[in-house]
Chains A and B, each alone.
Chain A
Amino acid sequence: MPSIPMTENEERRVLKTLGLQSTEDLFVSVPPKIRDAADFKIDLGEMDDHTGRGLTEHELRLYFHKLADKNAYAGKYTHFLGGGIYDNIVPAIVNQLTLRGEFLTCYTPYQPEISQGTLQYIFEFQTLICRLTGMPIANASMYDGPTATAEAVLMAQRLSAKKEESVLIAGSLSPEYKGIIQTFLCGHSKMPVEIPWKADSTLDFDALASLTTEHKPCAVVVSYPNYFGSLEDLKVIKQKLPADCLLIVAVPDPSVLALYEPPGLLGADIVTGEGHQFGTPMLFGGPHVGFFCTRKEYLRQMPGRVCGETTDSRGQRAYTLTLSTREQHIRREKATSNICTNQGLIALRTTIYLSFLGKSGFLKLGETNQSLYDYLADALEHKGVIPQFKNALCYREGVFKVPNLTQRFKKAVALNMIPGIPLSKYFKEKEFNDSLLITVNPKHTKRDLDKLVEVLSHD
């Protein structure tokens, strides 16, 4: 086994040093009943030769490439999937740099003297995220967008002086975000109350007003854009909230902030979101990277790691993890969260990507997504595939009523195309029966879009 260097000779040498007859003597504290039953067998499937040995690198490649070929991956299928996870082009240097062992195989930077590389990129990540969202502070990242949003809700409840810790969430929030918030709240408060949407899929302000009066929530969660691709008027929403109710804005697709005003400038108190499309593949849903931003006055209630700039004993600029008294390893049951660390490597990918893409590249990314979508939406409508939400202002994705959806979906798959997410999976209302959430990404060309229109507009 290449990763276990100890030879038989060395094992004897160690045993001699320890004054033991056999390695088994080290396990005397395990009761015999447990010790005797401890054997196990890993099933290596078709590669198993029943000797108990592991596979060689060559065999591993054979096995996993075969598995990989069974998946409809982006290089083989043109897909129009989104809804929180977005395909994007990953620059070569992102992979090259993150594979450097000094980044890949280091630990959480508890020892600042030998972790300045990690600490400095975290500081740069925090800076990029602040500038992206228009918020004054960001943490060192969280597991993903939905869990970051759930943590935001918990933070709002901690900040709330009220005993009643109701939370309102937009009904147009992604089903995954909703589900995860519910799971996180399960422990200690009422389930969040959903705010309905209007005909254009944005928040119903009348309902918002009556629900805030009724529930006196400590926070309202909206998505920007929402799950149906529409942009909310955050400024108006903020104005309609009572002073002690926080506005939490989830940004599942932060490329929107290239073109649209960031939530930080529109009254958001906490901004969360998912950053994986900036340099990290879809990976079947993870590992990805959540970002978490808030106002300065709420700093001490923020969950997760933060990195700060300071100086060292030689008067040089230096970075360190700071404000760790909020965290589990010091505060234990009183910690702001049980989160132990950040998504170091994925935050690094994000930092490299956004730096490389740069100010003008970021604008182009947003423009590309918007332009591809607008072209597609027009072309679909022209062929009778109409948007479900009239007059919705959409960025990069939207919901369309596709006649005979099941059949046309199958036809698309046969042409190596996955046309979108059928929403009946998440929304049981009848109006979603033939609804398809269609998402564009920068890999698409006019030809891909034309082909999709062709497939979706005919039986």
Chain B
Amino acid sequence: MIEQKSTQGLSLREGTIFDRSEKGRIGFEIPPLTVPRSHAKKFARENPAEFPEVSELDVIRHFTRLSSWNYAIDLGTFPLGSCTMKYNPRINEEIAAIPGLADIHPELPPELCQGALEVMYRLEKALCAVSGLDEVSLQPAAGAVGEFTGLSVIKRFHEKHGSNRKYVLIPDSAHGTNPASCSLVGYETITLKSGENGNVSPDAVKEALDKYGREVAALMMTNPNTLGLFESNISEIADLLHGIGAQLYMDGANMNAIMGIAKPKDMGVDVMQYNLHKTFSTPHGGGGPGAGPVAVRQHLAPYLPNPRVKFVDGKYILENLNDSIGRVKSGYGNFGVMVRALTYIFHHGSNGLKQVSRKAVLNANYIKKRLSEKYEVARNAPSFHESVFTDARQQKEFGVKTLQIAKALIDYGFHPPTVYFPLVVPGAMLIEPTETESLRELDELVDAFLDIAARIEKGEKFDNAPTKTIIGKVDEVGAARKPILSLDDRAH
């Protein structure tokens, strides 16, 4: 067994913040009143909200202790496939906190927020450059909102052209948000069986188009797909769709693999969403915030969300389009995320961004090569930024499954890969190292995987893994049967 990264240390127990409360203790102070005190004249609240009464140090200790129970990119490799957990450069945080970029109200007249509008304009232009597409809306608050927005744009486009279409084709390897977004827009989804390599085959598309014809509004596909493979037939598929007026939507979740290597527009893509929190390194922050800008070809631009930023006569202005689908987010979207993404893009420049994708692909292939020694590779085709392994060997011979392998990895000091996704690969382990990991870190990750495989061969089952974490296996069944969702549920 190799030396594990996880070790013993002083990890402190901590109740909820409410456990620290002491009646009458004052925390943060609001400035003293400079005008006469007044109160509610009607509907006055009878019982004040029972918030904790704690000091500044209480709050600091509480949340610092909580933070120590989290695994994070800052602590070690986070090979979570399809999530692009790359390092978040700290200059992004510093820039986003500049008062002139943080303390601005979205209702400022355009002439009083030219700097903010320039951030948006430049980011739009950068995202156009990378994708080759013509226009971008930064408004969607997350990848899923980006999907909703892109599909709404497609729907509006069809409506404006007098065609009410019903279906969106989605390969079975797609992320769960894809079909959920379709439902939200009011489209029915037709699932396409993906080919051997997780690819969408033109024949499957042809078959679906023959069956549903001009009822098909669009095809949604991810490229590179969720198995980390490039969809080589994408242009052919685009032509098939365009032949009947349907649109090609590309889920841009995996853009980190193809910057400077392939442009969506050249593939025939009509609309796509970016995930700024993936490709452009804005922090995932335990689940958000993100941003999911939508890029489109010119013919879809009139339907993008309002308002649009334009540069006219040396000034940035806001414009509302008549045919727009409307708003999908308050303000202009997640501006704070845009500032970080633009900082990252400017920090890297054209040359740097192209290196990002090349190095991400190199790292993924390096891991694939080394891990294939002990783990079954799901598909034997050249990988892009991530690759899929399975538990086939470990399960068949030793009865150890992906879940145990993933949990065992935690004791070695690593975050597990994405497991059991894509759904089309049984026992999948999806590994995405990103370009920000050094070879030394990757070797350590691989060594841990190989060590686990070796121990499995010696008969270890890892049923109780992880053993070194602050808590053991969680009773998820109990949590779901009798939900306790707030402190006030405890008593019942």
Assuming the contacts A55-B346, A72-B108, A72-B113, asked whether A359 and B50 have C-beta atoms less than 8 A apart, the reply is yes
Evaluate contact between A358 and B27: CB separation under 8 angstroms: yes
Question: In the assembly, what is the distance between CA of A339 and CA of B180, in Å?
Answer: 9
Interface with A: B207-215, B244-252, B325-333, B388-396, which one? B325-333
Which B residues lie within 8 Å of A418 (CB)?
105, 108, 112
Q: Check A282/B106 contact, CB under 8 A, given A34-B263, A131-B50.
A: yes
The reply to whether the CB of A313 lies closer than 8 angstroms to some CB of chain B is yes
Closest A residue to B414 by beta carbon equals A114
Name which residue of chain A comes closest to B325, CB basis. Answer: A183
From A68, A116, A316, contact of B70 by CB (8 A): A116
Decide yes or no whether B8 CB sits under 8 A from chain A: no
Cβ-neighbour of A375 out of B35, B62, B72, B284 (below 8 A) = B35
Contact A71 B114 (CB under 8 A): yes
State in angstroms the CA–CA spacing of A334 and B179 once bound together.
Answer: 8
Asked if B69 lies at the interface with its beta carbon under 8 angstroms from chain A, I say yes
The B251-298 residues at the A interface (CB cut-off 8 A) are: 258-263, 266-267, 281, 283-291
Is A89 within 8 A of B476, CB to CB?
A: no
Task: Tell me, yes or no, whether B1 is within 8 Å of chain A by CB.
Answer: no
A228 / chain B contacts, CB cutoff of 8 Å: none
- Taking chain B's interface residues, is the majority helix, strand, or loop, or is none over half, making it mixed? loop
The residue in chain B whose Cβ has the minimal distance to the Cβ of A182 is: B326
With A30-B230, A285-B332 as contacts: A261 and B44 at CB distance below 8 Å? yes
Instruction: Indicate if B475 sits at the interface (CB-CB under 8 A).
Output: yes
Bound Cα distance A118, B86 (Å): 19
* Contact across chains for A355 and B17 when beta carbons are under 8 A apart: yes
Pairwise interchain contact B476-A310, C-beta atoms closer than 8 A: yes
CB pair A299–B479 under 8 Å, yes or no, is no
Residues of A within 8 A of B53 (CB): 358-360
Which residues of the partner chain B approach A124 to less than 8 Å between Cβ atoms?
16-18, 487
User: At the interface, yes or no: A389 with Cβ under 8 Å from chain B?
Assistant: no
- Per-residue CB proximity of B379-405 to A under 8 Å, as 1/0? 001111000000000000000000000
Q: Does B490 contact A (CB under 8 A)?
A: yes
CB–CB A68/B98 < 8 A: yes
Q: Smallest Cβ distance from B132 to chain A, in angstroms?
A: 7
Among B87, B141, B325, contact of A147 (Cβ-Cβ < 8 Å): B141
Judge whether B122 and A332 touch: CB under 8 Å. Answer: no
Q: Which residues of A contact B345 (CB under 8 A)?
A: 42
Cα of A387 to Cα of B354 in the assembled complex, Å: 58
Asked if B56 lies at the interface with its beta carbon under 8 angstroms from chain A, I say yes
B377 is an interface residue with CB less than 8 A from chain A = no
Among A47, A100, A308, which residue has its beta carbon within 8 angstroms of that of B346? A47
Check B42–A127 contact: CB distance below 8 A. no
Complex Cα gap A74–B45 (Å): 31
A311 CB within 8 Å of chain B:
yes
Smallest CB separation, A134 vs chain B (Å): 8
The size class of the interface chain B forms with chain A is 35 or more
Contact A114 B469 (CB under 8 A): yes
Q: How far is the CA of A372 from the CA of B38 in the complex (A)?
A: 9
Inter-chain contact B67/A103, CB cutoff 8 Å: yes
Task: Please tell me if A199 contacts chain B, counting CB pairs below 8 Å.
Answer: no
Q: Indicate if the CB atoms of A352 and B59 lie closer than 8 Å.
A: yes
Residue of A nearest to B439 (CB): A10
Residues B51 and A371 in contact, CB atoms below 8 Å apart: no
Q: How far is the CA of A238 from the CA of B152 in the complex (A)?
A: 34
Q: A107-B78, A176-B327 are in contact. Are A131 and B49 (CB under 8 A)?
A: yes
Q: Does B46 have its Cβ within 8 Å of any Cβ on chain A?
A: yes
Given A112-B474, A287-B334, A316-B471: A71 touches B40 (CB 8 Å cut-off): no
CB pair B436 A3 closer than 8 Å: yes
A346 interface residue (CB < 8 Å to B): yes
B294 to chain A, nearest CB (A): 13
**Listed residue (B30, B59, B126) with the most chain A CB atoms within 10 angstroms of its CB:** B30
Residues of A contacting B305 in the complex (Cβ-Cβ under 8 angstroms): 183
B450 contacts chain A at the CB level, 8 A cutoff: no
Asked if B350 and A40 sit within 8 Å, CB to CB, the answer is yes
| In contact, B474 and A97 (Cβ under 8 angstroms) | no
Chain A residues 37 to 89 lying within 8 A of chain B, measured CB to CB, are 37-45, 47, 51-55, 57, 60-61, 63-77, 79, 81, 83-85, 87, 89
Interface pair B286/A186, CB less than 8 Å apart: no
What chain B residues lie within 8 Å of A72 (beta carbons)?
104, 108, 112-113
- A95-133 vs B: 1/0 string, CB under 8 Å? 111111111111111011111111011011011101110
With A113-B466, A284-B113, A341-B287 known as contacts, the answer to whether A310 contacts B126 (CB < 8 A) is no
Inter-chain contacts of A63 with B (CB < 8 A):
346
Cβ–Cβ contact B28 & A361, under 8 A: yes
In the complex, the answer to whether B45 meets A259 with C-beta atoms within 8 Å is yes
Stretch at the interface among A165-173, A207-215, A317-325, A451-459: A317-325
A179 touches B49 (CB 8 A): no
Chain A residue at minimum C-beta to C-beta distance from B53: A358
Kindly list chain A residues whose C-beta atoms are within 8 Å of the C-beta of B119.
Answer: 67
Q: Which of A53, A60, A187 contacts B352 (CB 8 A)?
A: A53
Q: Would B346 and A355 count as touching, CB distance under 8 A? A: no
Q: A262 contacts the other chain (Cβ, under 8 Å)?
A: yes
The residues of A that contact B436 with a CB separation of less than 8 Å are 3-5
A365 to chain B, nearest CB (A): 6
Chain B residues whose CB sits within 8 angstroms of the CB of A188 once the complex forms: 186
Q: B369 → chain A, closest Cβ, in Å?
A: 6
* Residue from the list A61, A146, A259 in contact with B40, Cβ < 8 A: A259
Question: A18-B366, A371-B33 in contact; A260/B486 too (CB < 8 A)?
Answer: no
Task: Give the CA-CA distance A22 to B93 in the complex, in Å.
Answer: 36
Report the separation of the CA atoms of residues A447 and B31 in the bound assembly, to the nearest whole angstrom: 14
The answer to whether B242 has its CB under 8 Å from any CB of chain A is no
Contact A54 B352 (CB under 8 A): yes
B52 contacts A283, C-beta separation under 8 Å: no
Which of B14, B122, B287 meets A109, CB within 8 Å? B287
- List CB contacts (< 8 Å) of A172-217 with chain B: 176, 179-180, 182-184, 186-188
Measured CA separation A313–B490 after assembly (Å): 19
Report yes or no: A73 in contact with B103, Cβ–Cβ below 8 A.
yes
- Could you tell me the distance between the alpha carbons of A365 and B365 in the complex, rounded to whole angstroms? 55
Give CA–CA (A99, B64) in the complex, Å. 11
Contacting pair A261 B229 (CB below 8 A): no
Asked if residues A108 and B484 are in contact (CB atoms below 8 Å), the reply is no
* Beta-carbon contact of B335 and A355 below 8 Å: no
Interface pair B266/A34, CB less than 8 Å apart: yes
Known contacts A120-B66, A309-B484, then 10 further A-B pairs from the complex at CB < 8 Å, ordered by chain A residue? A71-B101, A113-B410, A118-B66, A121-B66, A147-B141, A180-B327, A186-B325, A329-B421, A341-B288, A345-B288
What are the 8 A-B residue pairs with the smallest beta carbon separation, nearest first? A285-B331, A68-B100, A101-B74, A345-B285, A187-B186, A54-B349, A287-B289, A344-B286
* 30 A-B residue pairs with CB within 8 Å: A17-B369, A28-B382, A45-B118, A61-B95, A68-B98, A97-B59, A102-B71, A106-B73, A106-B286, A111-B410, A113-B472, A114-B70, A114-B71, A116-B470, A123-B487, A124-B487, A127-B18, A143-B288, A179-B327, A258-B45, A259-B39, A285-B331, A286-B331, A327-B176, A329-B177, A333-B189, A335-B180, A357-B30, A361-B27, A370-B39
